[in-house]
Amino acid sequence: MCEHEIINGVRYAYRWLRKVDLEFPTVICLHGFTGTSKTFTFTGHDLNYLAIDLIGHGDSSIYVHPYRYQMSALVRDLAQLVSELDISSFYLLGYSMGGRVALSWMLEYPRGIKGVIIESGTAGISDTKQRHQRQKADDKLAKRLLTKPFTEFIDYWEDLPLFHSQKKLSLQKKEAIRMERLSQHPFGLAMSLMYMGTGAQKNYWPLLSECAIPLLYIAGEWDRKFNVIGLDLVKQNPEFSFQLIRNCGHCCHIEQPRGFEKLVTNWIKEKESEPPYENC
């Protein structure tokens, strides 16, 4: 069941997947593009899981000023949301777009963050020309969302090579993912692409070496692109580590949910047993 908070005029929907006791570590889960908090189905193991619908997705606000979709505005809102929920310390777990949000949150508003788990995300595009090219491509996709039938866009999105491994999922899982995507609103997705897509995102690569927050990067065996990105990312900082999950592609937490949750749980338990560190 979703609850809501208004943060700086934007409504954010969130739900507890499991709330054991706030004395235990809390993990804040951030979904990917076209997804919602429903993509996460973690069961606990002495962890509290809080999933948030990002702006333009799920039950969170859609029709707000486009600038509210900018990554810097989003992570400021999320940091305030967590503060208002009286969560003083927490881990971040972000998938794909949510991974980029988690990384931005860690670097811009590190207070209270004990660790970050990135699933198939990136720190941005370092090459200026390539970043501008990606922004043009994202803007073109946004225009397609606003001018073409929505089902055509979802058909196109599901057929991207990035998601081909999901064709191996059960019919029930595939239908659930498709219904989640179809439940979105074209305007919210278009603004997300234009204002916080990979092309619009800051280049965070130069800042990674300065961060003292531990980070775990998770990638699927069949997702070659994000294997390379993840391995490059963890080289930037001795506090960062990389884990590969076998027999899955871009979306490990859906394709191999048990293995993914076990990896997350074990990593957090390991970090909880270590002495505290200085924040970024």
The 10s digit of each residue's pLDDT in 42-68 is 987 789 999 999 999 999 999 999 999
One-letter amino acid of 204:
Y
Q: Per-residue pLDDT tens for 231-275?
A: 999 999 999 999 999 999 999 999 999 999 999 999 999 999 987
Q: Per-residue pLDDT tens for 121-151?
A: 999 999 999 999 999 999 999 999 999 999 9
Give all domains of the chain, ordered by start, each with its CATH number. 3-127+203-273 (3.40.50.1820)
Long-range contacts of residues 13-17, Cβ cutoff 8 Å, at least 24 apart: 13/37, 13/52, 13/53, 13/58, 13/59, 13/60, 14/50, 14/51, 14/52, 14/53, 14/81, 14/85, 15/50, 15/51, 16/48, 16/49, 16/50, 16/51, 17/41, 17/42, 17/49, 17/50, 17/51
What confidence score (pLDDT) does residue 43 get?
A: 83
Task: Examine the pLDDT at 97 and tell me if it is beyond 60.
Answer: yes
What confidence score (pLDDT) does residue 27 get?
A: 97
Q: Per-residue pLDDT tens for 186-196?
A: 999 999 999 99
What confidence score (pLDDT) does residue 19 get?
A: 84
